[in-house]
Amino acid sequence: MFDSVRGQLRETLDEIEQAGLLKPERVITTPQNASVGVGSAEVLNFCANNYLGLADNPEVIEAAKVALDRWGFGMASVRFICGTQSVHKELEARLADFLGQEDTVLYSSCFDANGGVFETLLDAQDAVISDALNHASIIDGIRLSKAQRFRYANRDMADLEAKLKEAGTARRKLIVTDGVFSMDGYVAPLREICDLAEQYDAMVMVDDSHAVGFVGPTGRGTPELHGVMDRVDIITGTLGKALGGASGGYVSARKEICDLLRQRSRPYLFSNSLAPMIAAASLKVLDLLETTSEARERLRANTERFRTKMTEAGFDILPGDHPIAPVMIGDAAKASAMADRLLDLGIYVIGFSYPVVPQGQARIRVQLSAAHSAEDVDRAVEAFITARG
């Protein structure tokens, strides 16, 4: 049977390559850090989500080593059978406290967290109103539910209000948005979203994967940035970016929501528990976040330095102050070729193109990190200037 399918798949793959949309995976030969080995070369890494530079932090690594000896390698079980240790409960309580919520449920990834929320909370009587640029995991999670679906233009509050009016007869209404949109670095207007939610009796859900740890005065994410921590009902996020960079995700929410997720959320019920050493290392990350702001301050300085110097050099960078700094190229093949040229110059970045971003909006998404030095940032800018030709 597969022989007849092989040619069809090969044809599709050839079309992807010919369109300049092939996404090869470069193999890193070192731990994740500001500098990484790619093949035989050491290059500056400007494409990881290692916002606070904690992926190779010695204290975090040591916490994981200690936990490996104490708690073992893995649980070999889902949570409700025999997969819950006290380290999991401790992390859930700490995350809830950190995010200003009543409870937290751990997942194997934020993709699974988003995949487990909508089907559990909503059915055909309900409505979900989603930002047009929300992450793929939100889109897929919504598809799993039977709820009425409405989509509003990115960060467009007039359109959101229109969709809330359309959903007026629904039993439950849930507005869902990314806190930070990962391809653009734009921040959702959460205060205005919460105002509309209260006006139209809707709940608010925020995927804050690209914010928790470094956005807001104390790193508690976009709800803290906008002063609406007590007005957001559900926060989903990841442990795989700023919070250590390993894996794992969570839903932090009102108690009743978390209670129901533990009973009905399929990705939670049928996936193995988060590895205990990751849970323990994540507790160390929270300790660091609550005792020092040094990494956040360094990240902000690096971000401002890169954005300012690239703008002065004439590059088209989407506006904002987030460490995601998209350098707009337009053509997919040109973006890919420029990324390859930058790698030759010692700067590891990736060109993003359709279907990750809209057609004609290919870009090189630069990710700043607290692990970078000012000299690293300047070297990246110089390499972009050289690669532009």
The set of catalytic residues is 182, 210, 241
Dist. CA 51–CA 240, nearest whole Å? 10
341: number of Cβ within 10 Å: 16
**Residues in contact with 75: Cβ distance below 8 Å, sequence separation at least 6, in sequence order:** 82, 83, 84, 85, 272, 273, 275, 276
What's the half-sphere exposure (Cβ side, CA atoms, 13 Å) at 207?
A: 29
Tokens linked to 180: 């930070």
Residue 326 near residue 318 (C-beta atoms within 8 A):
yes
Beta strand residue intervals within 208-332, DSSP E: 234-238, 249-253, 324-330
Half-sphere exposure of 228 (CA within 13 A, CB side): 24
Whole-number Å distance between alpha carbons of 337 and 294: 36
Q: Are 123 and 129 in contact (CB under 8 A)?
A: no
Q: Are 194 and 160 in contact (CB under 8 A)?
A: no
Q: Does an H or E element contain 146, and which?
A: none
Residue 199 DSSP SS3 = helix
How is residue 350 annotated by DSSP? -
